[in-house]
Chain A
Amino acid sequence: MPDKPISYEELTSGYKFAPATYELNASFVSKYLRAVDGSGDGFVPPLAITACAIAAMTKTIPLPPGTIAIHASQELEFFRPVPIGATIDCHIGVAQKIARGKMSMLVLELEILDKDKEKVQSGRATIALPA
């Protein structure tokens, strides 16, 4: 997602990652449903959409090798069902970075739009990391 690599120290409140685009095709949905033991209902499961955004986000957070990042909390809001085959854009930014003892908490905001730029999902993820 970022145009150029940045260090973890450079991730400050207000930092925006470059948007990531995903095509939520039938093959992706089928793989996701197998992983979660789910059955399809014609729409992309909303948490499959979030999973794309979270994975994109965690892949781009520059951490030293061996660092364990723990997903501490998650907030989500769904605005519309997303049909299989849709393309989405994930916009992610740093809302807060808090040092708490030996841990650091990174609060990330995400907004997911469809091809018509309509919001399909928004949320906040809190990731705990060793400081």
Chain B
Amino acid sequence: MLTEIQEGKALGPVVKHITQEKINLYAEASGDFNPIHVDESFAAKTPFGGTIAHGMLNLAYVSEMMTSAFGESWLSGGKLRAKFKESARPGDTLTITGTIFCIEQKSDVSYANCNFEVRSQKDETIVTGETIVRLSSGKE
């Protein structure tokens, strides 16, 4: 976890390599077997030209970064807003980073406002978004 929560503090990086095996494992775990993720011959005939990772797999890496930075505060008071910009594909290496851009105080409770980005090794933005984490109140 972060030892100091302050504006400007960097989050991550978390680095993950996407493989078809991981996409298949994710499909099994989540039950989402959409052929665009798991059927290579189907996906090859689509505008994507091949399989793509589940958007929620990419987002899982963002949540990992947030859990590692904020621990239980993320699990019990986290908010996330994400836009999926591009698709991650097998062979991609994703780097997930973020920044605490503002700490707000509302009714004796502090909130850390963060932004995040998931980028590929080709410098494509895969996911962008913002998170808010409710930190402990002054009374706790």
Contacts and interface: CB of A to CB of B under 8 A. Distances in A.
A54 B56 contact: yes
A8 interface: no
A31 B32 CA distance: 14
Contact of B29 (A31, A56, A59, A75): A31
A36 B32 CA distance: 14
Interface string A64-80: 00101111111111111
A35 B22 contact: yes
Contacts of B56: 47, 50-51, 54, 71, 74
A74 B64 contact: no
B25 interface: yes
B67 interface: yes
B74 to A, nearest CB: 7
A44 to B, nearest CB: 9
Contacts of B75: 43, 46, 78, 80-81
B78 A78 contact: yes
Query: How many B residues are at the interface, by size bracket?
Result: 35 or more
A73 B26 CA distance: 19
A74 B55 contact: yes
A41 B56 CA distance: 20
A74 B32 contact: no
Interface residues of A, number: 37
Chain A at the B interface: mostly helix, strand, loop or mixed? mixed
A55 B81 CA distance: 19
A54 B60 contact: no
A52 interface: yes
Contact of B59 (A31, A55, A74, A81): A74
A45 B67 contact: yes
A123 to B, nearest CB: 8
A78 B67 CA distance: 12
B80 A76 contact: yes
B67 A37 contact: no
B60 A36 contact: yes
Nearest to B22: A35
A47 B96 CA distance: 16
- Residue from the set B46, B56, B82 with the largest chain A CB neighbour count within 10 Å: B56
A59 B78 CA distance: 27
Contacts of A47: 56, 59-60, 63
A31 B24 CA distance: 11
Given A32-B29, A36-B26, A50-B59, 5 more contacts: A46-B63, A48-B29, A51-B32, A71-B84, A75-B82
